[in-house]
Amino acid sequence: MNAVPVPRDAAPTDGLAGPGTPVVTDLDVEHLTVPLSRPWGPDVTRVHVLTTRVHASDGSTGTGFSWTPTIGAGAVLALLREDVREFAIGRPAATTWWTQAWEHLHEAGGGGVTTIALAGLDLALWDLRARAAGTSVTDLVGRRRDSQPTYGSGVNLHYPDAELLDQVRRWIGAGHTGVKIKVGRPDLREDLRRVAAVRELLGPDRALMVDANQRWDLDRATTALGALAEFDLTWVEEPLRADDTLGLVELRRRTAARIAVGENVHTWYRFRDLVAAGAADVLQPNVVRVGGITPFLRIADLVRSAGLELAPHLLPELSGQLALTLPERTWVEDVEDAGFAELGILAAPTGGRCADGEFRGGTRAGLGFEFGVAR
């Protein structure tokens, strides 16, 4: 029987600082409610960004954030201001005790609200650590690539056909070598019509992905994937509930479609179970939802060791920086008008950008997130 893998750096430690080591003295959190210039639906017209700042005993600081589009911002804010802050104070201003923090919060849930809150702390600690070293987080982790390919993405299921095609034309004009659109309308014939029109506009040389956002059950997904097969899809994202591991395994048995899942998977253990079960071809961790950079790197190691494809989900200004540390070629998702710069909450550019079909990261110190009104 094969040994069950364990997360990297998961050996238990007390997480306490040695003599002379800078320690966390405070954690500040601010809740920003940010209107979307291009709503993701009638009920999603804004997103929530919880900016975090860690203060250390040597006077250094680090900036990070937690993020959630719709649900749970108040709960994440409370966790950060109370339980996460209390646990962090007095511990090393370092990134070595993520597992202990996760174990401490586990009574409130292994993932979801707890890991989203932990991301605010983890990102701020990585930012502090990189700034202290006078380098970017990308170079601190270990830059392996100068660029990664981008695909244009949008929350566009509610768009009329003409508006959808206009969006695809903008992505083509921006140089994206791939495009992802939403599917899952009540009438499958509408999905097929829209996918056919997008494929015709893209031509045969650009990648096309579709995302059902967990809207189908197993039988409907089987029917839909069979009908969509003619369009040469790079992957079909979240055809079933992300929690339905056995359903995803059965769907892969029934169809030849490449299945992508992961944006709503919150822990290394759940990714391990999906990998072990053979439930997906592409794994898509969201850096914030899994708890930050520390667990993201562990998940990347897991996916690579299994020989599967990794495609970080959303937040290109963050996930793109980490994509540059990966040895493999991987997609960076660029959601139209949803980057922090486009939302107007950054005082200065992060140093990373999507252009001409590639994400390239600059060398600003830390993560490069400076929240505030653009100057």
Task: Transcribe 245-312 into DSSP letters.
Answer: HHHHHHHHHH--PPEEE-TT--SHHHHHHHHHHT--SEE---TTTTTSHHHHHHHHHHHHHTT-EE--
Sign of the CA dihedral running 3, 4, 8, 14: negative
Q: Both 253 and 313 in a single domain? A: yes
Q: Both 246 and 292 in a single domain? A: yes
Long-range contacts of 256-260 (CB under 8 A, 24+ apart): 256/229, 257/225, 257/228, 257/229, 257/233, 258/233, 258/234, 258/282, 259/235, 260/209, 260/235, 260/236, 260/284, 260/311
The string of pLDDT tens digits covering residues 244-283 is 999 999 999 999 999 999 999 999 999 999 999 999 999 9
**Structure-token pair, residue 67:** 């993020």
pLDDT confidence band for 1 (50 / 70 / 90) = very low
The reply to whether 13 falls in a domain is no
Q: Please pick, among 48, 55, 182, 266, the residue that the annotation labels catalytic.
A: 182
- Asked if residue 285 lies in contact with residue 271, where contact means CB atoms within 8 angstroms, the answer is yes
Question: Domain residues for 249?
Answer: 139-361
- Asked if residue 371 lies in contact with residue 51, where contact means CB atoms within 8 angstroms, the answer is yes
Q: Both 144 and 283 in a single domain? A: yes
CB count in 10 Å sphere of residue 229: 13
Is 313 assigned a catalytic role? yes
> What's the pLDDT score for residue 362?
78
Whichever domain contains 115, its CATH number is 3.30.390.10
Which of 99, 133, 167 terminates a domain? The answer is: 133
Which of 133, 151, 180 terminates a domain? The answer is: 133
Phi, psi of 326 (to 5 degrees): -90, 145
Whichever domain contains 159, its CATH number is 3.20.20.120
Supply the DSSP symbol for 172: H
β-sheet bridge partners, residue 33? 48
pLDDT confidence band for 19 (50 / 70 / 90) = low
The reply to whether 2 falls in a domain is no
Q: Both 240 and 354 in a single domain? A: yes
Q: Both 143 and 235 in a single domain? A: yes
Q: Both 298 and 350 in a single domain? A: yes
pTM given for the model: 0.94
Is 48 assigned a catalytic role? no
User: Tokens 């007095």, residue?
Assistant: 90
Q: Please pick, among 55, 104, 176, 313, the residue that the annotation labels catalytic.
A: 313
Q: Both 175 and 40 in a single domain? A: no
> What's the pLDDT score for residue 20?
74
> What's the pLDDT score for residue 43?
86
d(CA 84, CA 124): 13
The string of pLDDT tens digits covering residues 297-349 is 999 999 999 999 999 999 999 999 999 999 999 999 999 999 999 999 999 99
Number of domains in the chain: 2
CB count in 10 Å sphere of residue 58: 13
Please compute the mean of the pLDDT values over residues 107-123 and round it to a whole number.
Answer: 97
d(CA 136, CA 132): 10
The reply to whether 331 falls in a domain is yes
The reply to whether 28 falls in a domain is yes
The reply to whether 57 falls in a domain is yes
